[in-house]
Amino acid sequence: MSIKTNSNAKIVHFGIVLLFMLAWSCATNTSNKTDSTALLETKVFEIQNGKYYGYEILINGEVYIHQEQIPAIEGIKYFQTAELAMKVGNAVKDKLESNKHPGLTKEEVTFLLGNY
């Protein structure tokens, strides 16, 4: 009879461990979607002593994306003006606000900047 009691205790113990693992998994679920209450902000910064520009996307004041080069374009190309950096940064921010992946395609960048 003690073997059966020991087996039942193991089953109960296993069930409790499984329950805690499930609860922990749900509590720590991280996804690419931003919290609907999160404050998203685009900031432009100078690089190479003001010769070029980049942008950052901040979520609740913390840097989430730091981009010094034009994304999705072959080679290393920089934003020539703060306005162009802000335009692309805002497009990325808009995607995040729509719970979409923040990456831009070459076509999207070309649409925003023209044939760069």
β-bridge partners, 44: 55
* Model pLDDT for residues 72-116, shown as the tens digit of each residue: 999 999 999 999 999 999 999 999 999 999 999 999 999 999 987
pTM: 0.69
